[in-house]
Amino acid sequence: MRVWRFGDDIDTDAIIPGRFLTINDPAELAKHAFEGTNDAFAREVSPGDVIVAGRNFGCGSSREHAPLALKGAGIGMVIAKSFARIFYRNSINVGLLPVICPDADFIGENDSIVPNLAAGYLEASGRQLPIEPVPEFLKKIIDAGGLVSYANQLHGEDICTR
C-alpha cells in the first residue's frame, strides 16, 4: 500500500481532466487520473493504495468521473481534512470510501494506514487519528460496491435494466 499525498483544493479537473469525460469505463479513466497534476499516479498506483489530502478535496464540477477514476485505479479510500460535498456523495455512489480526518497532515507517504471506522479512528504509524463517523447506511452502500449495486441487492434483481 502506498500513500499518495495531495494538498488543499484538489478539484475534479485535476483528478480527471475534462477531455476524458467521454470515457465511462473506470479502468480506462484510471489511465488518465491526475494527468497533468501528478503524472506518476496513473503509472505507479496499485490496488489498495490510499489518497491523503488536505481541505476541500474534489471541489469543482460535479463529475462522477473523478471518484470513478480513483476507484478504477484501485484506490479504496480517500482520506482528507474535508471534501467537497458532491465529491463526497459521488464517492459513496461509486463505492469509494471518503474518510474525513482533521489530522490528515500527520499521515506520511510511508505510513501504513489501518482504518477502524467502528471505533472512529485511523491508525497511521502507531498514532490514532480521529475521524468523523461514517454512517452505517453509507458503509452498506460502499460495501455493496456503490449505490446501484446496493439497490440491486435490496430488491434482489437488476433494477437498472427493467
Grid coordinates representing 135 are 454512517
Supply the pLDDT for residue 161. 56
Radius of gyration over alpha carbons of the chain, in Å? 15
Spell out the domains of the chain, with CATH numbers in brackets.
3-106+123-132 (3.20.19.10)
For every residue of 123-146, DSSP letters joined together read: EETTEEEE-----HHHHHHHHHTS
What pTM was computed for the model? Answer: 0.92
Give the residues across from 130 on adjacent strands.
121
Binned average pLDDT, 10 residues per bin, the chain of 162 residues: 95 95 95 96 96 97 92 96 97 96 94 92 92 93 92 75 54
